[in-house]
Amino acid sequence: MSLTRWGPYRDVLSLREAMDRLFEESIVRRPQALEERAGLVSVPVDMYETDEGIVVKSDLPGLKPEDVDVSITENTLTIKGQFEAEEESGRGDVHVWERRYGSFHRSVMLPKGVDAENAEAEFEDGVLRVTLPTAEEEKPKQIRVEPN
Protein backbone atom coordinates (compact mmCIF):
# COMPACT_ATOMS: atom_id res chain seq x y z
CA MET A 1 0.00 0.00 0.00
CA SER A 2 1.35 3.41 -0.93
CA LEU A 3 0.46 6.76 0.50
CA THR A 4 -0.36 9.68 -1.79
CA ARG A 5 0.07 13.17 -0.58
CA TRP A 6 -3.11 15.21 -0.76
CA GLY A 7 -2.89 18.34 -2.91
CA PRO A 8 -5.96 20.58 -2.85
CA TYR A 9 -5.11 22.30 -6.16
CA ARG A 10 -4.88 19.03 -8.10
CA ASP A 11 -8.62 18.48 -7.69
CA VAL A 12 -9.43 22.12 -8.48
CA LEU A 13 -7.47 21.91 -11.73
CA SER A 14 -9.32 18.81 -12.83
CA LEU A 15 -12.63 20.52 -12.00
CA ARG A 16 -11.56 23.57 -14.03
CA GLU A 17 -10.60 21.37 -16.98
CA ALA A 18 -13.95 19.59 -16.76
CA MET A 19 -15.81 22.92 -16.76
CA ASP A 20 -13.77 24.15 -19.74
CA ARG A 21 -14.65 20.98 -21.67
CA LEU A 22 -18.32 21.32 -20.70
CA PHE A 23 -18.55 24.90 -21.94
CA GLU A 24 -16.54 24.18 -25.08
CA GLU A 25 -18.66 21.20 -26.06
CA SER A 26 -22.03 22.75 -25.22
CA ILE A 27 -21.48 26.26 -26.55
CA VAL A 28 -18.88 26.03 -29.29
CA ARG A 29 -20.03 22.79 -30.92
CA ARG A 30 -23.73 22.92 -30.12
CA PRO A 31 -25.15 24.42 -33.36
CA GLN A 32 -23.53 21.74 -35.50
CA ALA A 33 -24.66 19.00 -33.13
CA LEU A 34 -28.25 20.28 -33.27
CA GLU A 35 -28.14 20.34 -37.06
CA GLU A 36 -26.81 16.79 -37.14
CA ARG A 37 -29.55 15.55 -34.82
CA ALA A 38 -32.16 17.22 -37.02
CA GLY A 39 -30.69 15.45 -40.07
CA LEU A 40 -29.47 18.70 -41.63
CA VAL A 41 -26.15 19.14 -43.38
CA SER A 42 -24.16 22.23 -42.41
CA VAL A 43 -22.71 24.44 -45.14
CA PRO A 44 -19.94 26.97 -44.50
CA VAL A 45 -20.41 30.65 -45.33
CA ASP A 46 -18.15 33.69 -45.53
CA MET A 47 -19.66 37.16 -45.12
CA TYR A 48 -17.80 40.41 -45.66
CA GLU A 49 -18.59 44.03 -46.34
CA THR A 50 -17.48 46.13 -49.32
CA ASP A 51 -18.11 49.78 -50.22
CA GLU A 52 -21.19 48.70 -52.20
CA GLY A 53 -22.71 46.33 -49.65
CA ILE A 54 -22.45 42.85 -48.17
CA VAL A 55 -21.14 39.74 -49.93
CA VAL A 56 -21.97 36.21 -48.74
CA LYS A 57 -20.21 33.18 -50.21
CA SER A 58 -20.97 29.51 -49.63
CA ASP A 59 -19.36 26.33 -50.94
CA LEU A 60 -22.02 24.06 -52.43
CA PRO A 61 -20.08 21.42 -54.39
CA GLY A 62 -22.03 19.19 -56.74
CA LEU A 63 -25.14 21.37 -56.83
CA LYS A 64 -26.65 23.25 -59.77
CA PRO A 65 -28.07 26.79 -59.50
CA GLU A 66 -31.64 25.47 -59.72
CA ASP A 67 -31.00 23.25 -56.66
CA VAL A 68 -30.37 26.26 -54.39
CA ASP A 69 -32.98 28.57 -52.86
CA VAL A 70 -31.83 31.97 -51.57
CA SER A 71 -34.18 34.34 -49.72
CA ILE A 72 -34.04 37.48 -47.58
CA THR A 73 -36.49 38.18 -44.77
CA GLU A 74 -35.93 41.43 -42.88
CA ASN A 75 -32.23 41.25 -41.96
CA THR A 76 -31.71 37.49 -42.41
CA LEU A 77 -30.32 35.74 -45.48
CA THR A 78 -31.34 32.09 -45.88
CA ILE A 79 -29.76 29.52 -48.18
CA LYS A 80 -31.56 26.17 -48.66
CA GLY A 81 -30.98 23.09 -50.77
CA GLN A 82 -30.26 19.40 -50.76
CA PHE A 83 -27.22 17.28 -51.52
CA GLU A 84 -28.33 14.08 -53.24
CA ALA A 85 -26.65 10.79 -52.38
CA GLU A 86 -24.84 9.06 -55.21
CA GLU A 87 -26.19 5.65 -56.20
CA GLU A 88 -23.30 3.24 -56.55
CA SER A 89 -23.64 -0.47 -56.97
CA GLY A 90 -20.83 -2.80 -56.03
CA ARG A 91 -19.40 -0.36 -53.49
CA GLY A 92 -18.00 -3.12 -51.28
CA ASP A 93 -16.71 -2.42 -47.80
CA VAL A 94 -16.74 1.29 -46.95
CA HIS A 95 -13.62 2.44 -45.10
CA VAL A 96 -14.28 6.20 -44.85
CA TRP A 97 -17.59 8.01 -45.33
CA GLU A 98 -17.26 11.72 -44.57
CA ARG A 99 -19.26 13.37 -47.34
CA ARG A 100 -22.73 14.31 -46.22
CA TYR A 101 -26.01 14.06 -48.04
CA GLY A 102 -29.37 15.54 -47.26
CA SER A 103 -31.10 18.86 -46.79
CA PHE A 104 -29.33 21.98 -45.66
CA HIS A 105 -30.69 25.25 -44.37
CA ARG A 106 -28.33 28.04 -43.41
CA SER A 107 -29.46 31.43 -42.12
CA VAL A 108 -27.18 34.35 -41.31
CA MET A 109 -28.04 37.70 -39.72
CA LEU A 110 -27.00 40.61 -41.88
CA PRO A 111 -25.04 43.33 -40.04
CA LYS A 112 -27.06 46.17 -41.60
CA GLY A 113 -29.98 46.94 -43.86
CA VAL A 114 -29.75 45.84 -47.50
CA ASP A 115 -31.64 46.57 -50.70
CA ALA A 116 -33.19 43.13 -51.27
CA GLU A 117 -34.77 44.20 -54.59
CA ASN A 118 -31.32 44.70 -56.15
CA ALA A 119 -29.62 41.65 -54.61
CA GLU A 120 -27.76 39.37 -57.00
CA ALA A 121 -26.79 35.70 -56.73
CA GLU A 122 -24.17 33.98 -58.87
CA PHE A 123 -23.21 30.32 -58.89
CA GLU A 124 -19.90 29.27 -60.38
CA ASP A 125 -17.74 26.17 -59.84
CA GLY A 126 -19.79 25.09 -56.82
CA VAL A 127 -19.52 28.46 -55.05
CA LEU A 128 -22.61 30.57 -54.40
CA ARG A 129 -21.94 34.32 -54.21
CA VAL A 130 -24.76 36.61 -53.03
CA THR A 131 -24.19 40.37 -53.36
CA LEU A 132 -26.49 42.54 -51.25
CA PRO A 133 -26.29 46.30 -51.89
CA THR A 134 -26.50 48.54 -48.84
CA ALA A 135 -29.91 50.15 -48.35
CA GLU A 136 -30.01 53.88 -49.09
CA GLU A 137 -30.99 54.72 -45.50
CA GLU A 138 -27.88 52.84 -44.26
CA LYS A 139 -25.42 54.67 -46.52
CA PRO A 140 -23.49 57.54 -44.94
CA LYS A 141 -24.68 60.98 -45.97
CA GLN A 142 -22.27 63.82 -46.64
CA ILE A 143 -23.30 67.09 -45.02
CA ARG A 144 -21.76 70.22 -46.40
CA VAL A 145 -20.68 72.81 -43.86
CA GLU A 146 -21.66 76.39 -44.83
CA PRO A 147 -19.77 79.41 -43.56
CA ASN A 148 -21.80 82.02 -41.61
CA 128 from chain center: how many Å? 13
Nearest to 107 by CA among 135, 80, 130: 80
46 and 118 in a single domain? The answer is yes
pTM: 0.64
78 and 21 in a single domain? The answer is no
Q: Is 112 helix (H, G, I), strand (E, B) or coil?
A: coil
Domain with 109, as residue range(s), is 40-86+99-137
Q: Measure the CA–CA gap between 123 and 23, rounded to whole angstroms.
A: 38
128 and 103 in a single domain? The answer is yes
In CATH, what number is assigned to the domain containing residue 69?
A: 2.60.40.790
Q: How many domains does the chain have?
A: 2
pLDDT per residue rounded down to tens, the chain (148 residues):
667 776 666 655 567 777 777 776 655 544 545 545 555 567 889 999 998 899 999 999 888 899 899 999 888 999 999 888 777 666 778 788 777 778 888 899 998 888 889 999 999 999 999 999 988 776 677 888 888 7
Residue 110 lies in a domain: yes
Nearest to 131 by CA among 113, 146, 118, 142: 118
